[in-house]
Amino acid sequence: MAKLTLGFASSHAAQLKMKPENWSLLLEKDQRDRRMSYEELLARDLPGMEAQITQEKWNERYDACHAALGVLRNTVAEVAPDVIVVIGDDQNEQFSSANMPMFSVFFGTELTTVKRGGARDTGARPRRAWSLGQDDTEPDGAFPADEGLARHMIRSFVEDGIDVHTSDAMREEVGIGHAFNFLYRYILPEGNIPVVPLSVNTFFPPNQPTPRRCYEVGQALGRAIESWESDARVAVMASGGLSHVILDEEIDDMTLTALAAKDADALANLPVDRLTRGTSEIRNWVVLAGATEPLDMTLIDYIPCYRTMAGTGCGMGFATWQ
């Protein structure tokens, strides 16, 4: 049977992809974000925020994030799994409000990535002005997927009572979503390990899964991997999180503490009203926790990357389970 040998998780927020001297470009984005009132956030009492948004602090935290990514990259190389299941969220890349599954498994044989602004980019994903400050490492090409494991996961989920959505094709003009191509961008640039994408609707109501359901699906994923008739060594990745836009160190600490303690009940009862916007991607980490119950978590680093005086930014987390 297959063996689950590694779990790992990484934030994939915009500040990872931008040199720290460009983080200031995100101020305009935050001020124009219709999902929140920047002025109300700015009016909060946030002691010490001035010290959080200096160029020196930004440089320090950017370097710490990329050092943690280096640890993940080296760990994956050392473990050398035969296949990686990537748990991520779709943000109107393959799905839309016309068809937004709660959980979806891709069972095709190939994953395509499309570089924004590249020859294959038809303009379906126009670049925002602030994104011009991002680095140019976005992959463009085709990478192997593991149809065998994907089909086994689907059958196993169905037998476990999980009504899972499936897909074996993607929008060619968009390619695989940001949560999944992040793996190739920073952790597996060689793209030489087959991948199975597991999409979780973390973002969009009304069918976002509860944290409890995420943990249960993660447990089912672990059972599926361990019951696969293969000698493959499997890794599972959670892509995204932690707190986004409105940086919330409290919810980040609550999550990381529960993950380290293997506290399934605490994870199942994370406050849903705080799992909003990109912070909702914490659900991906909860799925991973369910899948990796037998393994122990090591927190590589947690870096609160503030970017404005209003306390906006992203809580960057990096961890392994072995």
Quickly state the pLDDT bin for 8 (edges 50, 70, 90): very high
Residue bearing the bigger pLDDT, 169 or 105: 105
Let me know if domain 3-321 sits in CATH 3.30.1330.10: no
Q: How confident is the model at residue 214 (pLDDT cuts 50, 70, 90)?
A: very high
Higher pLDDT, 115 or 92: 92
Predicted confidence (pLDDT) at residue 115 exceeds the cutoff of 80: no
Question: What is the pTM (predicted TM-score) of this model?
Answer: 0.93
Q: Give the model confidence (pLDDT) of 129-171 as tens digits.
A: 445 456 656 677 899 999 999 999 999 999 999 999 999 988 8
Average pLDDT over every residue of 27-31:
91
The three state secondary structure string of the chain is CCEEEEEEEECCCHHHHECHHHHHHHHHHHHHCCCCCHHHHHCCCCCCHHHHCCHHHHHHHHHHHHHHHHHHHHHHHHHCCCEEEEEECCCCCCCECCECCCEEEECCCEEEECCCCCCCCCCCCCCCHHHHHECCCCCCEEEEECHHHHHHHHHHHHHCCCCCEEECCCCCCCECCHHHHHHHHHHCCCCCCCEEEEEECCCCCCCCCCHHHHHHHHHHHHHHHHCCCCCCEEEEEEECCCCEEECCHHHHHHHHHHHHHCCHHHHHCCCHHHCCHHHHHHHHHHHHHHHCCCCCEEEEEEEEEECCCCCEEEEEEEEEEC
The mean pLDDT of 52-72, rounded to a whole number, is 97
pLDDT at 50: 94
Q: What is the pLDDT of residue 125?
A: 42
- Give me the residue spans of the domains in the chain: 3-321
